[in-house]
Structure 1
Amino acid sequence: MDSVDLNVLRSVLEWRRAGQQVVLYSVVQTWGSAPRPPGAMLALRGDGVVIGSVSGGCIEDDLIARLQDGRLAKDGPPVQLITYGVTRDEAARFGLPCGGTLRLTEERVEDWAWVAQLLERCEAHEIVARELDLATGVVSLSGASKSDVVTFDGERLRAIYGPRWRLLLIGAGQLSRYVAQMARLLDFEVLICDPREEFVYGWEEQHGRFVPGMPDEAVLNIQTDERTAVVCLTHDPRLDDMALLTALNSNAFYIGALGSRVNSQKRRENLAALGLSADAIARLHGPIGLHIGSHTPSEIALSLLAEIVAIKNGVAPMQKKPLQVAAP
């Protein structure tokens, strides 16, 4: 679930609590090259204010126009289906590339208690499914798993909310704070492990969740899986290597450690000396991130997350010159 869409729901809750009328649009099906995936959301307030996105912009303009010219029904069925881009000419009109087609639900948000409940459960790091019955407009919430996807059978829409990707940061220093902020925008659940108490101050507002114990224990305790990235940022090999020895034998899709090329070479040699296999060591990303000439903490964070997102999305990142590991 895109964090942009959670912000849409936060606005829906705020507007309804203030007595405003709200219509919620959700992408349920796409054909061709649609700009936004199923599940993407947009909320339209009664005075024409919008938040969120279901396309590149032109459809948003038409949704506002529906409110202003009276096409948006104020009674009747609580949920309707709207389709854009049925013909190639209409697709071009609404900026849908390659003749794409987009189908949306148009949902009047009357009983908004489910919005508050959903947001509360997401803030508690739960993954939640929202089922919308198109005939009645009734919404029900239930638990979901990381592998669940948006489904629509013509009668019910089932959308998934909450962080399904996780990022474990070893170290709570300045760089970790930048990484955490950006990762949250990319819809990662951010976990932090740092046994050094002096680095904990100020994390309350970063929306990261601390994992107690030493780094190797943290990797085990969170049950690291194929939707987890582990990044070591302490610059202290006693902490970073402790996590790496465990993480490199896990199913994490990305494992990286901060350091120069020279330090990354030394780290690989140390890990080999500690008995880690060559195959496991080959999984380590270091130096971390894509090469963008980064120097500042925010630039390094951007570089790191660009690499993580590329791998998450199945895109091969820019090639790096391989580091050789000396035989132990």
Structure 2
Amino acid sequence: MMVRSGGFTAMAAAVLGTLILAGCAGSPGGPAGPRTGGYYKVGKPYQIKGVWYYPAEDYSYSETGIASWYGPGFHAKTTANGETYDQMDLTAAHRTLPMPSLVRVTNLDNGRSIVVRVNDRGPFANNRIIDMSQRGAQLLGYDRAGTAKVRVQILADESRALAEAARRGETPPVLTAQVDGGTAPPVQAAAARPPVQVSEVPPPAPSASRPSGITVAELPPSVTARVPGKTEDDGRFMPAPVVSSVPVKGRNRIYVQAGAFSVAENAQKLSGRLGVIGNASVSQATVNGRQFYRVRVGPLDDVDRADAVLNQVIQSGLTDAKIVVD
């Protein structure tokens, strides 16, 4: 059984109910052998440590939360959709999105934003919402900290194109990405990072030397920009290591969301019950035209404190609680 902090291979499905998974891409190994391009996969609902996850083709997906990363010990292993994991590629593990798909991940602390390819399942530790490759964490500037507050948004048209190409076993077409806010952020080479020393794995090459089969042209007012990257020999489209500077809005504080209700009285009752854990409050939100009352504990000072509060809330019986950034 191969285990990691991010996701799980297909072999894990038969024994999920009896194992506590810390992750997926495998046990420590040597340098990568021949790459495999993988296949399109959504997958069936599955359960980890009492929590159910429901994979789906959700092309409206957008979520804030805490990101983690995985690298050493899992390089060259097989991902959940059959690809060969390379910690220096811009890939990520996600619990429910289709594989492959493309997502934009933005660090809400520094405004760094990159596009990565989802090709694995996870993470399942402490309610993280995405597990980045080591190179992805470096480009977003949180490899040393280990975690970051992020926004994850699927690139719908691009992900559909990848899905269609993967189903047919074809090379994906030229990919374009819609940029939020009406204007495209400047695209620049990622800042240089110290080499990452991993046994039998070479350090990452400078970003400027990374080949790119798709160029970034002058951007018209339509705010459509090409996703920089290239198609690998195995047919995968792999985003290039470039970083966009994105304006970060709001306070982006950390909360534990214990539940959301359509009836205000139910939310108030839960809020009162959670007062022994921390500063619990009720806030209103409109989702798809419906009014909800969210019960949250916080704001919390840091990720460690959020993890501790989340565990307390879950132990009180609220197993759907999660960490959010708002």
TM-score range, shorter chain: under 0.3
If you compute each CA radius of gyration, which structure gives the higher value, 1 or 2?
Answer: 1
* Structure with greater strand share of residues: 2
**TM-score, length of structure 1 as denominator length:** 0.22
**TM-score, length of structure 2 as denominator length:** 0.22
* Structure with greater helix share of residues: 1
